Structure 1
Amino acid sequence: MTISKILHVPGARLRYLLRGTGPLLLLVAGGDGDAAASDDLAAQLADRYTVLTYDRRGLSASTLDDPGDPPTVTTHADDLHHLLAALTTEPAYVYGSSIGALICLELVSRHPEQVSVLVAHEPPATQLLPEPERSRARQEQQEVEDVHRAQGALAALRRFAALAAIDPADREPDVAATPPRPERLPNLEFFLTHDAPAVRRHLLDLSALKAASTRILPAVGEASAHIWAHRCGRLLAEELGVSYVEFPGGHNAGVFRPRAFAARLHEVLDSAGAVPGLLGTDRAGDEPAR
């Protein structure tokens, strides 16, 4: 059974979903992914975890109080802080992909006590890249935004997919390519207008990450070694003095290969050795989603 609820946070209302039983595991999607983007992966994890997914503010059912006040990566991290605080007093497992990984790293730098283990899959942290790779990567980020302004969201999505080497054919046989949901285009517009520039401008607090009590596990795709986000994952591991972990598939494998990805995530979290608390009782201030 999946429970859908709404939590009011400063400046927004967040829709979140809970399914399964066991230790709390938060999944934070990449790109313009809302809670539904993680449905297949969450379904593979719900037999061992209470899986928490959500719509980032500005996407789907998570609305802004003031649409003229767009979020930053830090805003998104603060949303996660409020979401976790509303659900549990114990540190949680957290997995984030791409922008989701960047948001989760910001959460850990600000609230490490809330996260037991973070698996950060290919965070687009260009500050980690040496020159001239850094300048090329930032130019590519800017190109996606420029294509969006000149040619529209779908053309920008094609450009982004090419840069991330996303191969729609690299999917498990039972993961079908489904038609876009009605909210996909508005979500994509919001991501390209606000979140993509926020990612390009964001800088990780590496000192805070090194000092954090959270066990941070940078992760990369086995099939994505030729893209700079993969390189960022490996360089983050080097910066933190830890080993990176490999997952099946490429940059988007959590969506395209959920069964293999979940199996690997089970292994990684088991080997991390930490045992976060079970989900606590919901606190006041949230309401069922409509």
Structure 2
Amino acid sequence: MESTKRATLAVPGARLYYELCGSGPLLLVLQGGEGDAGRTAALVRELRDRYTMLTYDRRGLSRSTVDEPMPPITIETHADDVHRLLAAVTGEPATLLGSSFGGLVGLVLATAHPDQVATLVTHEPPALGVLPGPERARAERVLLDLEATFREEGWAAAFKKLAEATGAGYDDREPEVELPPPLSPERIANMKFLFTHDLPAVRTCRLDAGALATLRGGPVRVVPAAGHTTARDFFDHRCAAEIARLLGTELAEFPGGHNGLTMRPKAFTRRLLDVIGVPG
């Protein structure tokens, strides 16, 4: 059994918990939703023979703590955390896989610190600023409704709406993938943090088409990606497609839907290696 290094890193206003395992060039997984370092354990197992896998808990989730009083958290805050985490573990540009919320964090990091990113696979990032005005307004209304549902009805009702919005389900999964257990107190706390702090950060993120244009022709290879079964009108899918158009590249299709990297880790890994350019 390969050993896993578990450590914490002090960053401005927080302490980040992270895990390192495997060998080879560094690959950082940026989790979506309220996911922490363990959310993509199956994917990590598939990749650790080829890569040194880095996962972490975003500030405020699970084992990553925040200082009080806590100022508003932005996507730029999270991107700066990742910048400092990468600087602590490697001096070389890394490969990044960002899912949903994590994909947006990866894009902001790549625009701010392109020297740290070799390849970014950004899977259905909610980069609302790249959408045409009416589409962006509709997406923002969805997020505002989720935040209001959380305040008025609680996390369970908001979580149900979030699953419906993303189309994420458990039917399309590989045989080895087990259904998730009932939500633990820790994950419920993460869910509450997501609806209170991180969804508003998505709405107020400053990344737009102009900022994204700085990546075109630059040193960072950006691979916009979306799930095969994700609804084409879901705003995260639309964001990925619009990013591909703005960067003059193709949208990479991955197995499964919005949560394909957790429900179909083997197939997702094969496709990831294919788009990165590593023989399977």
TM-score range, shorter-chain basis?
over 0.9
Equivalent of 2:33, from 31, 34, 39?
Answer: 31
| Whole-angstrom CA distance in 1 between matches of 2:69 and 2:58 | 14
Structure 2 gaps, min length 5: none
Question: Are positions 1:251 and 2:258 aligned together?
Answer: yes
Equivalent residues of 2:213, 2:246 under 8 A apart: no
Q: Structure 1: which amino acid aligns with 2:203?
A: R
* Regions of 4+ moved over 6 Å: none
Alignment of 1:170-181 (within 5 A): 170-179=172-181, 180-181=183-184
1:66 matched to which residue of 2?
A: 68
| Whole-angstrom CA distance in 2 between matches of 1:229 and 1:57 | 23
Question: Are positions 1:189 and 2:192 aligned together?
Answer: yes
Structure scoring higher RCO (CA < 8 A, sep ≥ 6) equals 1
Equivalent residues of 2:97, 2:122 under 8 A apart: yes
TM-score w.r.t. structure 2 length? 0.94
State the shift of 1:138 in Å.
1.2
Structure 1 gaps, min length 5: 273-290
| Whole-angstrom CA distance in 2 between matches of 1:149 and 1:113 | 40
What is the alpha-carbon root mean square deviation over aligned residues? Answer: 1.4
Alignment of 1:228-247 (within 5 A): 228-247=235-254
State the shift of 1:70 in Å.
3.6
Q: Structure 1: which amino acid aligns with 2:246?
A: E
| Whole-angstrom CA distance in 1 between matches of 2:71 and 2:90 | 29
1:221 matched to which residue of 2?
A: 227
Q: Structure 1: which amino acid aligns with 2:220?
A: T
Equivalent residues of 1:222, 1:248 under 8 A apart: yes
Using the TM superposition, name which of 190-199 and 126-135 deviates more: 126-135
Equivalent of 1:102, from 98, 101, 104?
Answer: 104
Residues matched between the structures, number: 272
Alignment of 1:132-281 (within 5 A): 132-179=134-181, 180-204=183-207, 205-210=211-216, 212-224=218-230, 225-270=232-277
Query: What SS class does the counterpart of residue 37 from structure 1 fall into?
Result: coil
| Whole-angstrom CA distance in 1 between matches of 2:212 and 2:246 | 8
| Whole-angstrom CA distance in 1 between matches of 2:69 and 2:224 | 33
TM-score w.r.t. structure 1 length? 0.90
Q: Structure 1: which amino acid aligns with 2:254?
A: F
State the shift of 1:24 in Å.
0.3
